[in-house]
Amino acid sequence: MFLFFLLPILTLAIMSLQSGDFFNGFVFTWNVGNYSRGISLYSEQYLHAIEYGGAATIVALLVAYPAAYWIAFHAGPRKSSYLLAVLLPFFVSFVIRTLSWGVLLADDGPLFGPLKSAQLLPLDFRVLATPVAVTGGLAYTFFPFMLLPVYASLEKIDRGLIESAQDLYANRFEVLRRVIIPLSLPGVFAGVLLTGIPAIADYVNQDLLGGVGTTMVGRVIERQFEVSLNYPLAAALAFVFMLGLLATLLLYQRIFGTEQIMGD
């Protein structure tokens, strides 16, 4: 715990309060300016991260839940084959997957090119480099992290409880609403965390599918570290990001309760 969690965080915290530059060395000076500068410069990118990451999580949930529901309850004895079929694309490296989405969605790519020349789409129609592309990419990238916990929680539901509900006059919709959904919430919560956290922090999707206007804070941090070599600023940005995430998690837990997250 100390070695792999507290130590890196402590290092990051110290680094975020340093000043100086890469070539002349950094010194610790309680330089809180890193924080104010970071937030004022990149507030828009923070917002993008929350917007795209949040939207992607919702999209992933809306697609994963019905899919998981169908596999768990209506796929018969071949459940695992269906599950595997849904997850198969994700065995390919996600960089390659995202790149191919980029190719597919390009303005004159195989999808829109023909539609445009057939005048079915306006010439300035585009998906690539828009928030839609980034959100879609994120939702797609982290889809398994939503599908699997949701599926696991649905699969775990005692089939007898569904019969109990039917016995007590619940029709299909009410069975779903009163029994299946409540009992699958632990999986939904887990899925939202597992999808949401990496989606918000992601910097690959917006790089490959987004444009100048869709930069997310994860990308900024990466750039500050790798290109600008401004370690203190990068550390400060990352720290703000982490604290924000932590606060959200605590709030999340407050609202829904550990009991819900942990299950019965």
Partner 1 sequence: MQNWPVQRGLVEMDAAWDPSDPAGRAARQAPDGDSVVVLEAVVKRFGDVVAVDRLNLKIRRGEFFSMLGPSGCGKTTTLRMIGGFEAPTEGMVRLDGQDVTDLPAYRRNVNTVFQSYGLFPHLNVYDNVAFGLRRHHVPAQEVQRRVTEALDLVSLAGYGKRRRAQLSGGQQQRVALARALVNRPQVLLLDEPLGALDLKLRKQMQLELKRIQKEVGITFIFVTHDQEEAMTISDRIAVMNKGRIEQLGPPEEVYERPATEFVAEFLGASNLLDGVYRGSHDGLGLVELKSGAKIRIPDDPDRRSGQRLRVGVRPEKIHVLPSGTGPTATQNTVAGTLRSAVFAGVSFQYFFQTPEGREMSAFDRNATGGAVARPGEVVRLAWAPEHTFVIPIDQPAAHQQVQGEE
Choose the stretch contacting partner 1; rule: CB under 8 A; options: 6-14, 31-39, 104-112, 173-181.
173-181
Indicate whether 257 belongs to the interface with partner 1 (CB under 8 A): no
Q: Which is nearer to partner 1, 226 or 259 (CB)?
A: 259
Judged by CB under 8 A, the residue of 91, 93, 226, 264 near partner 1 is: 264
The nearest distance, CB 151 to partner 1, in angstroms, is: 19
The nearest distance, CB 79 to partner 1, in angstroms, is: 20
The nearest distance, CB 7 to partner 1, in angstroms, is: 39
Count H helices and E strands in the chain, helices first. 13, 2
The nearest distance, CB 187 to partner 1, in angstroms, is: 13
Q: Which is nearer to partner 1, 19 or 260 (CB)?
A: 260
Q: Which is nearer to partner 1, 162 or 216 (CB)?
A: 162
Distance of CA 158 to the CA centre of its chain: 30
Count of beta carbons in the 10 Å neighbourhood of residue 158: 10
Token output for 226: 């790798």
Token output for 7: 């130590």
Neighbouring-strand partners of residue 20: 26
Q: Which of 237, 231, 243 is nearest to 218 (CA)?
A: 237
Contact status, residue 136 vs residue 162, Cβ threshold 8 Å: no
Judged by CB under 8 A, the residue of 43, 100, 117, 171 near partner 1 is: 171
Question: Burial code of 28-65, b = ≥16 C-beta within 10 A, e = fewer?
Answer: eeebeebbebbeeebeebbebbbbbbbbbbebbbeebb
Strands (E) located in 58-155: none
CA gap 95, 101 in Å, rounded: 10
Q: How many residues bind partner 1 (CB under 8 A)?
A: 18
Indicate whether 164 belongs to the interface with partner 1 (CB under 8 A): yes
Indicate whether 170 belongs to the interface with partner 1 (CB under 8 A): yes
Strands (E) located in 171-220: none
Q: Which is nearer to partner 1, 80 or 164 (CB)?
A: 164
Tell me which residue has tokens 């309680």: 30
Indicate whether 183 belongs to the interface with partner 1 (CB under 8 A): yes
Judged by CB under 8 A, the residue of 66, 110, 114, 182 near partner 1 is: 182
Contact status, residue 150 vs residue 186, Cβ threshold 8 Å: no
Q: Which is nearer to partner 1, 17 or 179 (CB)?
A: 179
Indicate whether 176 belongs to the interface with partner 1 (CB under 8 A): no
Indicate whether 179 belongs to the interface with partner 1 (CB under 8 A): yes
Indicate whether 167 belongs to the interface with partner 1 (CB under 8 A): yes
Q: Which residues in this chain contact partner 1 in the complex, by CB under 8 A? A: 158, 160-161, 163-171, 174, 178-179, 182-183, 264
